[in-house]
Amino acid sequence: MKIMNRPPSILLIEDDAGIVAALKKQLQTEGYQVALATRGDEGLILAREHPCDVVLTDLRLPGLTGLELIEQLHAAKPKLPIIMMTAFGTTETAIEATKLGAYDYLLKPFDMGELLDLVAKAVASSRLMSEPLEMGATQSAQSAIIGDSRAMQAIYKEIGRVAATSVTVLIRGETGTGKELVARAIYQHSRRADQPFIAVNCAAIPETLLESELFGHERGAFTGAHARRVGRFEQANHGTIFLDEIGDLSLSTQVKLLRVLQEKYIQRVGGNERVPVDVRILTATHRDLESAIREKQFREDLFYRLSGVTITLPPLSQRPEDIPDLVRYFLRRSAAELDQDSPSIQPQAIAFLQNQAWPGNVRELENVVRQGLLLARGYSISLEHVQQASARSHKPVVGADQTIAGYFSDLLARAARGEAEGVHARMFEDMERELYTRAIHLARGNQAKAARWLGVTRTTMREKLTRFGLRPPGEKPGQPG
């Protein structure tokens, strides 16, 4: 069974032929499908009638102005991200636009990289909201929570129980156990499913910017705050906000969040206005919050507010019976990404995978399966393929409790015992994998950004991600750009 990956599509609404030509070319090079409207009213009709992932629109348009367009489009399709392009000096309008429901805005003249980053983010967010997520056994879903073990069935029941309520849910579990998937499932089965779902990774945003990201800021609130900014809470109004890695919040942000939970309004950084917000809050963490509370790193009152209901995901090692289904699901998905038919996998290979410890849980299994598929080059996947893939799988090269010196002595000691060869090449490979893994993780999958940080081209970035099994799901290899 093959899963189709539809290329992401952008509706571009712009009347300036020069800008249209430039944007269209860039977007197509990046692998997007582009539909075009040169009038506001025409854009509105197109957006209503043809599904697209993101709208990119000018502010000044014939037929219907950008603001009218955003208002009407948002009313018709509240989950469709709209990015507005506006000339410098009209930031007030840009703020107005965000209030009316625009996802974000760009000030002209903008840098093409900046535009592409924003479009990629909006597409990801759009897919998160609209790609249906099935639970349990599935043969065809693009996106699913797989696993029929008792432990997972208990999780599905809990999701069903909390989804329809507005209760705050804290999702816990080791890294890679599927916390983000569960958050999406709760949202999709909730009464707010037709409203936005906004995910914020609290660990990925520097502490100094996080409050402004969440609550927005007034002009001049701090150096660099040239214009007012509407925060994610305001954007998520009537919808759901997912605060991921909540255990990483600073104490001062914790106080502000607690106030939002208690009083149901936000205050922008540097402002006094109380903006009422109606937002359902879902949070997740892999941290041990109880010990963070004991160490006074996490507020107990906030913890109780957030954990209206707690859902704790079991580590993969506690449900090995789910592994065969997971393996087949990841094979189908990875094969679809590579435009291949799903290959078969030998029973010994599955048995081997069932016997691993999986400290990185389902994410690690997914990477190993993808690597195994690449190693098999279209043939049936054998025990050797998965063994080799598993040996390469990401274990932090230098863990929190280890030093570089420790890593070198381990590696050399293994070489001395005859258990490792080619130590020099291996060290470079390990370091490189670690660097790319961390960079792409920190950039939340944004390849352009990660490539910029590392000072490598996007092509190199793509090659390395494929090589290390870090290519995000849903992305087709070999796309030009």
Site map 106..145 versus ligand ATP, x via CB under 6 A: --------------------------------------xx
Residue 424, phi then psi, degrees to nearest 5: -60, -50
Residue 474 in contact with ligand ATP, rule: CB under 6 A: no
Q: Which residue number places its CB atom closest to ligand ATP?
A: 178
Find the part of the chain contacting ligand ATP (CB under 6 A) among 7-15, 34-42, 336-344, 359-367. 359-367
DSSP states of 332-391: HHHHHHTT-PPPPB-HHHHHHHHTS--TTHHHHHHHHHHHHHHHHTTS-B-HHHHHHHHH
- Report if residue 363 touches ligand ATP, rule: CB under 6 A: yes
- Give the nearer residue to ligand ATP in terms of CB position, either 20 or 338: 338
Is 287 a binder of ligand ATP (CB under 6 A)? no
- Interface residue list for Mg ion (CB under 5 A): 179-180
The option from ligand ATP, Mg ion, none interacting with 308 (CB < 5 to 8 A, set by class) reads: none
- Tokens 């048995």: give the residue: 351
Q: Which is nearer to ligand ATP, 176 or 469 (CB)?
A: 176
Range 159-218, binding ligand ATP (CB under 6 A): 173, 175-181
What H or E segment, with its residue span, contains residue 34? strand 33-37
Separation of alpha carbons 230 and 125, rounded Å: 17
Residues 366, 371, 376, 377: is their CA dihedral positive or negative? Answer: positive
Q: Which is nearer to ligand ATP, 230 or 365 (CB)?
A: 365
Specify whether the CB–CB gap between 81 and 121 falls below 8 A: no
Task: Give least dist CB 40 to ligand ATP, A.
Answer: 38
- In whole angstroms, the minimum distance from the beta carbon of 160 to ligand ATP comes to 16
Q: For 128-132, which contacts have Cβ atoms below 8 Å and span 24 or more sequence positions?
A: 128/184, 128/197, 128/199, 129/79, 129/187, 129/196, 129/197, 130/79, 132/188
> What minimum distance in Å lies between the beta carbon of 91 and ligand ATP?
34
Find which of Mg ion, ligand ATP, none residue 145 binds, CB within 5 to 8 Å per kind: ligand ATP
173 touches, from ligand ATP, Mg ion, none (C-beta below 5 to 8 Å by class): ligand ATP
- Name which of 257 and 326 has its Cβ closer to ligand ATP: 326
Nearest distance from C-beta of residue 233 to ligand ATP, angstroms:
21
Between 173 and 239, whose beta carbon lies closer to ligand ATP?
Answer: 173
Q: Which residue is nearest to Mg ion (CB)?
A: 180
The answer to whether 311 touches 172, Cβ cutoff 8 Å, is yes
Q: How far apart are the C-alpha atoms of 230 and 271, rounded to whole Å?
A: 12
For position 247 contacting ligand ATP by CB under 6 A, the verdict is no
CA geometry: angle 161, 164, 168, nearest 5 deg: 80
Closest CA to 224 of 207, 206, 212, 214: 212
Contacts of 56 (CB under 8 A, 6+ apart): 10, 11, 12, 13, 14, 23, 82, 83, 85, 119
Find the part of the chain contacting ligand ATP (CB under 6 A) among 17-25, 38-46, 110-118, 362-370: 362-370
Alpha helices in 146-190 (DSSP H): 150-163, 179-188
**Helix or strand (DSSP H, E) at 47:** helix 40-49
Give min distance, CB of 378 to ligand ATP, in A.
23
Q: Give, as one character, the DSSP assignment of residue 322.
A: G
83, 55 contact by CB (below 8 A): yes
Shortest Cβ 334–ligand ATP spacing (Å) = 11
Minimum distance, C-beta of residue 176 to ligand ATP, in the bound complex (Å): 5
**362 counts as binding ligand ATP under rule CB under 6 A:** yes
**Token pair for residue 227?**
């214009």
Q: Report, in Å, the least distance between residue 218 CB and Mg ion.
A: 31
List residues binding ligand ATP (CB under 6 A): 144-147, 173, 175-181, 286, 326, 362-363, 366, 473
